Chain A
């Protein structure tokens, strides 16, 4: 089915027959963002299509200071496909698959490298054990468990002289990450406040992009540092338009590198990379247009406030470059 047809069907008010029949079992779903709980209701399937675009102006110094590229220009995009399925009355499943179009140019060095890659998919289970559905006064609490798998590109193309000679962009840490978090939302009329708190732990894994020089390995094992994060969501709804502002902070431990150890714990011999830990802060702002309960359009911007040393450039998943990210998302629900 083409996206156009899907869109038309999603916007149609009623379909009680045929392939997209409205099912009795479906949970109620408000057409207004502010009234929605943290999970998609039972029986709903949501397809999210979106893109994030960042033209990086520079990077972050060792103390979190903003530094500019000398002559490089780095375009980092993320094209997102997200499936969310309300698998039961209290939980939904999320499958998130990113792609990346990346371009690096450097007029001085004559660099002009670009490519489109698969990123790291994420799978999440969200469980909302508690909700209060009083009209105009919704309360919800959800727990989230998420796994990120290293499907992205990790072969930089040449390891002969280290990463500086790469011909390919790395779009994965090469590791599995597990995230556990809690989210909450309190709504009163046209306003809502929410929060997010959680942590991410990475398993170590052999990664093609890691050049291990000490023991003459052409591959190495990496274990990104564990992270904790917190964010606050502030939301207001005006008619079919919701405004969301989300300031957030994240702190992470040091990344560890080395060679594999024998046995069931191959990451036990890895050594921390000095200076690879730190913290960052940013601010998200989004405008959500609720076209119908079957269709939302979101436009957003992310402003980095503080970052960390660009130690693993261009590994955006660990140490992102500095730049404003603009985003747009279309969500179709059936």
Chain B
């Protein structure tokens, strides 16, 4: 769960005035880069929900209830009242002890928002906003990592520990998020742009933040070092995967399997170690020490509190852990380790036999060894063989993977790896990966080639949906849903060979199942963990509602639904299974801090426990041999046990050092199970002859007092006291305290025009995010005011924006008396200064169609004017307005899209705008000349398309010359292709034209291309026209990964490089040149008598006259049909304090000499020499050359 305080929404970087230059200002196309919604969690608005609030002494708990009831036909009815009441009770109980941990008793009430709109684990805490948001559903795999299911007490105490600890730790005032300081130095003479940005804020290392929250939950009695946590750290230590001292400071770069969870548990373990060595309060004292005053390196508090420096302490702790777990392993080995072997078809490199093999393995880099070990599966769960033994399947990373493979193909049961190419090929072909949930249980349907799986409502798409991603998801619900799938064969043809497969032949690169073969089971919304009855007619599954699970049976066609339990008190069940005779059901139950195995009568639901103790017993499987196989942790390590219902005797079957879970008995009577390792959940097999078979009945309490059981099952917590303090949620009563982030910004747009601005960004919202408002003020020589409001209480997001900016800038004029740039004696340089302003208003409506597609409409109006030395007031130059519609389709999130090497995916933006412009400048008599045409009032249509595709490099149909493509694939080399096209359907004033050229990412104004590597070899905004066609490509590769070095507060982890190239141009209109068709105005521009004589340039056929230089001697253009550039970039990924701090260096070379408007060569002096072409441009040119960009913490 994300718990770090989030930074403020990115300071909005849309518009700035500093680029505006006199009457030829370049406003560019107005746009806003912020997302169309400003929400933290809700991917969709939910106007179908009412919200209620429980107010207690120290908390507000908000929860949703559907407006439309089930009786009114609402399939997605939710009512999280019980979850909210339970949260309110826990919250008040924990308040006192948690605050006492720090002697920091919080006065402000904390808002807890309960989410129940999805079946996923969601949530975060922002301490400075007094805001905790948690889902009532913990998701499908949480318990497997933590091993307990007191979800609300677990998660709430953890989150509130964040609130108290990080408030106590805060040296900055809450709500500032620190101070944002940045600057950009853009030097047109030296052709370089250097920027830097950092948020001066509090630090708190990952291990302390998350480990501390676990530990303080422990100290206050709500948490304990469970067997699952021990399993995690035990395997981590024994397999050499501890996060290093440098690695564990930050939550970034935790993409290797298990590293995120390791960070939590390593921190918790460290806290326990410090408790043992220095006392209970040590971890809390770090916060209080840091809170006394900001320091660049948080770790400096450690020696002040403990007297031992942080690195020494880390090393001590590692020794302590190593000794502890080495002893455990010695014990297991002394007892006789029974682990079996991983269920693979070929040996892994680590399974060495000879010393030479072992040497070869150890010579590999550790990360390569880790990758190899993880390649056999990291989330390999729920292994099964079909009853007839033909099929083998498991849930691998959220896909139910089924193959036609008998158990005799596996090493654990034969002692030999599969050496039958025909069987291997057949099994590969006769396989399928069915989409499912990560960790979701599934089952074969006995007697049929069918399976039932846990999925979601939109699990299987139609061909159209699969290809386009255009599955409408307007209600925002995609709950769990059971599916009934036929394992049917599909015919494939490859190179003339026809074969059968369980997988459909791809259509347009996508796997599309026959809709008749994949059927959602009616009436099973929010269902999970299905198991088919022995007769193949019914299912038993678990149904979720309001923080609680219940056991339900239903026929495969969705009829005859029967609820066997009816809890509404947070009871949680897990992995039910039928008895061989179909009369009973075994299930694991979590309730009242107990985790026991229960047998339910399949008709009546009557419950009979088979264990009643403090062990964590779960993953029960009632096998055909009549015994119940399950996992439990007596002795602190999860192992597989077998319970005989007839004798009530229990045997221990495995004795592992990792963790043995999810046992399943094969048709041949062998054991498959999931073994937890530091490289993932792996599927292992143990031949029945190798089972430990150690009597273990005495380890469990099977002599059960049924009276106690009945009393326990009948217990219901009394929450009636909350009725009187529950009210309808009111926005004005639940606005968060305003957050004020100070901003300091330095920038220049010429070598002499420097600016320093100071101000703040104020952010406010209500706690269920119906209303969000941002106000930003920056004052300096330039003034910038912004207000933005989002209303998120309807299906679409509504945005209103207002902005005003005033900018001053200086410049030089080179007045050329004879308009001949080759004679310089008559050129005099003058300096000038100007003030410009704009006022902008916009409103938009944005509708998410699904998680990939968004459509919207935006209306906007802007007035632009300026004031020079002789003006007493701002003179309006132009007024513009427009309405546009857009469509954004992206298969890669914005977050990953900004990473150094984004994963495969695409982003498509399509927009149409109808715009209107009125030139109002009195000195020009209300008109302006552009491309030889007098322009006054005009309307135009504008069409834009941008397309970005990220691809991983890989062998092409198996072709990998010299193994290079395979090597590139292994090292995650990537291609990125970008296309940018735009079309304005008439000649327009240059403020309405497209602009292109290199921009630094810290640039806050308009006119930056996305990605900004496009035409980075040319000056910013120097290229323009009414038609834009640009194509660029990048080849990206890692240079140095897993650097993982901490230098003070800076943590550096990856270095990537990319080679970039761009080709394209911007085409415009041509002024008339035929004598008699034009006149020359007072600015030496040719003006057409007849606007029809102004000709549109045809891309590729015509060169772009605006972007082509003119020979000063002949006056003839040097045509640029296409412009090209190439470049190279280094991207350094790092983190500073709590946030990403990514830097880059880019070198780009533009091959073409160009010209354009105003100060093209970047010397801050605008040449007024006549271009000789009869247009209004200067005669300046920018020669081919290098442009260099540096960014420190600015991203790329």
The yes or no answer to B565 lying at the interface (CB within 8 A) is no
Q: Mark A68-109, 1 if CB is under 8 A from B, else 0.
A: 000000000000000101111110010101000000000000
Contact A24 B835 (CB under 8 A): no
The yes or no answer to A111 lying at the interface (CB within 8 A) is no
With A23-B737, A43-B174, A260-B752 known as contacts, the answer to whether A88 contacts B108 (CB < 8 A) is: no
Contact B869 A22 (CB under 8 A): no
The yes or no answer to B758 lying at the interface (CB within 8 A) is yes
Q: Which one of A16, A42, A83, A205 contacts B107 once the chains associate, using CB atoms below 8 Å? A: A16
Contact A176 B737 (CB under 8 A): no
The yes or no answer to B780 lying at the interface (CB within 8 A) is yes
- Cβ of A34 to closest chain B Cβ, rounded Å: 24
- Cβ of A173 to closest chain B Cβ, rounded Å: 11
Chain A residues with Cβ below 8 Å from B349 are none
Contact B176 A155 (CB under 8 A): no
With A19-B736, A89-B171, A93-B742 known as contacts, the answer to whether A208 contacts B869 (CB < 8 A) is: yes
- Which of the segments B40-48, B274-282, B825-833, B1168-1176 contacts the partner chain? B825-833
Contact A16 B108 (CB under 8 A): yes
Chain A residues with Cβ below 8 Å from B817 are none
Give bound CA distance, A83 to B781, whole Å. Answer: 18
The yes or no answer to A213 lying at the interface (CB within 8 A) is no
With A157-B870, A176-B781, A207-B833 known as contacts, the answer to whether A23 contacts B760 (CB < 8 A) is: no
Chain A residues with Cβ below 8 Å from B868 are 155, 208
- Cβ of B779 to closest chain A Cβ, rounded Å: 4
With A16-B107, A219-B831 known as contacts, the answer to whether A97 contacts B173 (CB < 8 A) is: no
- Which of the segments A146-154, A236-244, A304-312, A319-327 contacts the partner chain? A146-154
- Cβ of B783 to closest chain A Cβ, rounded Å: 6
With A87-B742, A206-B831, A219-B869 known as contacts, the answer to whether A22 contacts B107 (CB < 8 A) is: yes
Contact A85 B780 (CB under 8 A): no
Contact B780 A89 (CB under 8 A): no
Give bound CA distance, A147 to B292, whole Å. Answer: 28
Contact A87 B179 (CB under 8 A): yes
Contact B830 A217 (CB under 8 A): yes
The yes or no answer to B390 lying at the interface (CB within 8 A) is no
Q: Which one of B173, B764, B779 contacts A151 once the chains associate, using CB atoms below 8 Å? A: B779
Give bound CA distance, A154 to B808, whole Å. Answer: 10
- Nearest A residue to B744 by beta-carbon distance? A123
Determine the interface band of chain A, counting residues with CB < 8 A from chain B. 35 or more
With A17-B108, A21-B108, A219-B832 known as contacts, the answer to whether A150 contacts B808 (CB < 8 A) is: yes
Contact B780 A149 (CB under 8 A): yes
Contact A155 B835 (CB under 8 A): yes
Contact B108 A155 (CB under 8 A): no
The yes or no answer to A224 lying at the interface (CB within 8 A) is no
Contact B293 A85 (CB under 8 A): no
Contact A150 B781 (CB under 8 A): yes
Which of B106, B751, B835, B869 counts the most chain A CB atoms within 10 A? B869
Q: Mark A110-144, 1 if CB is under 8 A from B, else 0.
A: 00000000100101000000000000000000000
- Cβ of B220 to closest chain A Cβ, rounded Å: 18
Chain A residues with Cβ below 8 Å from B170 are 25
Q: Which one of B737, B779, B782, B870 contacts A19 once the chains associate, using CB atoms below 8 Å? A: B737
- Nearest B residue to A150 by beta-carbon distance? B781
How many residues of chain B get a CB closer than 8 Å to chain A's CBs? 58
The yes or no answer to B561 lying at the interface (CB within 8 A) is no
Contact A19 B735 (CB under 8 A): yes
Give bound CA distance, A286 to B167, whole Å. Answer: 38
Chain A residues with Cβ below 8 Å from B106 are 24
The yes or no answer to B619 lying at the interface (CB within 8 A) is no
Chain B residues with Cβ below 8 Å from A147 are 756, 758
The yes or no answer to A159 lying at the interface (CB within 8 A) is yes
Contact B758 A87 (CB under 8 A): no
Chain B residues with Cβ below 8 Å from A264 are 751
Chain B residues with Cβ below 8 Å from A85 are 173, 176, 740, 742, 760
- Cβ of A42 to closest chain B Cβ, rounded Å: 5
Give bound CA distance, A205 to B753, whole Å. Answer: 9
Q: Mark A164-181, 1 if CB is under 8 A from B, else 0.
A: 000110000000100000
The yes or no answer to B130 lying at the interface (CB within 8 A) is yes
Give bound CA distance, A217 to B174, whole Å. Answer: 51
Give bound CA distance, A154 to B756, whole Å. Answer: 18
Give bound CA distance, A205 to B869, whole Å. Answer: 15
Contact B869 A159 (CB under 8 A): yes
Give bound CA distance, A260 to B808, whole Å. Answer: 17
Q: Which one of A42, A83, A151, A260 contacts B831 once the chains associate, using CB atoms below 8 Å? A: A260
The yes or no answer to B719 lying at the interface (CB within 8 A) is no
With A147-B756, A206-B831, A219-B869 known as contacts, the answer to whether A121 contacts B779 (CB < 8 A) is: yes
The yes or no answer to B397 lying at the interface (CB within 8 A) is no
Contact B781 A155 (CB under 8 A): no
Chain A residues with Cβ below 8 Å from B756 are 147, 149, 176
Which of B107, B760, B783, B867 counts the most chain A CB atoms within 10 A? B107
Contact B810 A206 (CB under 8 A): yes
Contact B173 A86 (CB under 8 A): yes
Contact B759 A95 (CB under 8 A): yes
- Nearest B residue to A97 by beta-carbon distance? B779
Contact B108 A149 (CB under 8 A): no
Chain B residues with Cβ below 8 Å from A259 are 831
With A21-B109, A206-B810 known as contacts, the answer to whether A155 contacts B869 (CB < 8 A) is: yes
With A123-B758, A151-B779 known as contacts, the answer to whether A88 contacts B109 (CB < 8 A) is: no
The yes or no answer to B593 lying at the interface (CB within 8 A) is no
The yes or no answer to B1100 lying at the interface (CB within 8 A) is no
Chain B residues with Cβ below 8 Å from A87 are 172-173, 176, 179, 742
- Nearest A residue to B294 by beta-carbon distance? A88
Give bound CA distance, A194 to B379, whole Å. Answer: 68
The yes or no answer to A329 lying at the interface (CB within 8 A) is no
Give bound CA distance, A176 to B808, whole Å. Answer: 13
- Nearest B residue to A218 by beta-carbon distance? B869
Q: Which one of B172, B179, B734, B758 contacts A121 once the chains associate, using CB atoms below 8 Å? A: B758
Chain A residues with Cβ below 8 Å from B735 are 18-19
- Nearest A residue to B127 by beta-carbon distance? A25
Chain A residues with Cβ below 8 Å from B751 are 264
Contact A89 B109 (CB under 8 A): no
- Cβ of B769 to closest chain A Cβ, rounded Å: 15
Give bound CA distance, A264 to B832, whole Å. Answer: 17
Give bound CA distance, A151 to B105, whole Å. Answer: 45
Q: Which one of A88, A158, A206, A221 contacts B171 once the chains associate, using CB atoms below 8 Å? A: A88
- Cβ of B946 to closest chain A Cβ, rounded Å: 36
Give bound CA distance, A252 to B508, whole Å. Answer: 78
Beta-carbon contacts under 8 Å, B745-792 to A: 751-752, 754-760, 764, 779-783
- Cβ of B847 to closest chain A Cβ, rounded Å: 30
With A20-B737, A208-B833 known as contacts, the answer to whether A88 contacts B872 (CB < 8 A) is: no
Chain A residues with Cβ below 8 Å from B716 are none
Give bound CA distance, A289 to B757, whole Å. Answer: 33
The yes or no answer to A314 lying at the interface (CB within 8 A) is no
Give bound CA distance, A149 to B807, whole Å. Answer: 12
The yes or no answer to B516 lying at the interface (CB within 8 A) is no
User: Which 10 A/B pairs are nearest by Cβ-Cβ distance?
Assistant: A123-B758, A149-B780, A121-B779, A43-B173, A206-B810, A19-B735, A21-B108, A157-B872, A24-B107, A208-B869
Q: What are 16 of the A-B contact pairs (CB < 8 Å)?
A: A25-B173, A85-B742, A87-B173, A88-B173, A89-B171, A95-B758, A95-B779, A149-B757, A154-B835, A155-B869, A157-B871, A158-B870, A168-B872, A206-B833, A208-B835, A260-B752
Given A17-B109, A218-B832, 14 new contacts (CB under 8 A): A21-B109, A24-B106, A85-B742, A87-B176, A97-B779, A121-B758, A151-B779, A151-B781, A151-B782, A151-B783, A208-B833, A218-B869, A219-B832, A221-B831
B residues in contact (CB < 8 Å) with A:
60, 104-109, 130, 167, 170-176, 179, 292-294, 733-738, 740, 742, 744, 751-752, 754-760, 764, 779-783, 806, 808, 810, 830-833, 835, 867-872
A residues in contact (CB < 8 Å) with B:
16-25, 42-45, 83, 85-90, 93, 95, 97, 118, 121, 123, 147, 149-151, 154-160, 167-168, 176, 205-208, 217-219, 221, 259-260, 264, 266
